[in-house]
Homo-oligomer: A and B are copies of this chain.
Amino acid sequence: MKLLIVNPNTSSAMTEGIGRAAQAVAAPGTRIVATQPSFGPLSIEGHFDETIAAAGVAEQVRLHAGPDVVDAPSGIVIACFGDPGLDAAREAATAPVLGIAEAAFHAASFLATGFSVVTTMTRTCVIAEHLVQKYGFEHRCRGVHGTDIPVLALEDGGAGCVDAIEAAAREALARDRSGAIVLGCAGMAALCATLSARLGVPVIDGVAAAVKFAEALAALGLQTGKQGDYARPLPKVYTGWAAPLGW
């Protein structure tokens, strides 16, 4: 089975890191293909970054999983916690598409009556909160907490990052009366095991959760529903750099 992992930002190092993290949790027969947009921000830390990145996700899914693609993936993961471009990707593909925020929220709901999110920049908390509202997790998600660690600092982030995230998680668990922690950034994947061991509660990395759930859906032969609003896009002319993305 082939899974496409789309890193919505344009940091090649992060694309590779996410690809490795995905392969590490994938089943023996699963082949991970990690990709990134041909344009856009090096990291995603706000609405503007995310809007450009969402178009980048749409581009990549169009190119790797559109109707005319040979050897299309059996599942697709969008590896940024804002789930940019999720609806567009589902419209463009037939394989199931999962966002990592979504996957993490679902996983946490199976393990605790309430969970807390620990993320990077405080200014992005509202993005996670909007997803919580949109997806229906308002009773499960008891808090979204920023640590103000820049996304790119996570890459070489040693003990300092882990300690800061651990501290934020401990405070969140106590204040929110939560039973699980969701890591609010794809770049935190590598810290998941350490944090889980330190905190003694389930710590959920959305990349891992999305990969396993995508495998699960694909194994059951389930695909994106093509009746209704996720139907194939209508035939349409696109202009400018987006011309090749037309339908």
Contacts and interface: CB of A to CB of B under 8 A. Distances in A.
Contacts of A113: 87, 126, 130, 228-230
Interface in A106-151: 106-107, 109-114, 121-127, 130, 133-140, 150
A157 interface: no
Contacts of A121: 234
Contact of A111 (B150, B209, B217): B217
Interface string A53-72: 01101100010000000000
A184 interface: no
Interface in A198-247: 200-202, 204, 208-209, 212-213, 215-217, 219-220, 222-231, 233-234, 236-243, 245-247
Contacts of A237: 41-42
A164 interface: no
A8 B219 CA distance: 26
B229 A52 contact: no
Contact of A38 (B124, B204, B240): B240
A177 B125 contact: yes
Given A45-B236, A136-B136, A217-B212, A224 B111 contact: yes
Which of the listed residues A225, A233, A240 has the most CB atoms from chain B within 10 Å of its own CB? Answer: A225
A180 B225 contact: yes
Quick one: copies of this chain in the complex?
6
Nearest to A247: B48
A61 B224 CA distance: 34
A247 B52 CA distance: 13
B212 A219 contact: yes
Given A134-B133, A213-B213, A240-B39, A228 B179 contact: yes
13 contacts: A39-B241, A39-B243, A41-B237, A49-B236, A52-B238, A111-B223, A114-B126, A121-B234, A127-B229, A150-B234, A179-B225, A204-B222, A212-B220
Interface of A: 10, 25, 27, 37-43, 45-52, 54-55, 57-58, 62, 85, 87-88, 90-92, 96-98, 102, 106-107, 109-114, 121-127, 130, 133-140, 150, 173, 177-180, 200-202, 204, 208-209, 212-213, 215-217, 219-220, 222-231, 233-234, 236-243, 245-247
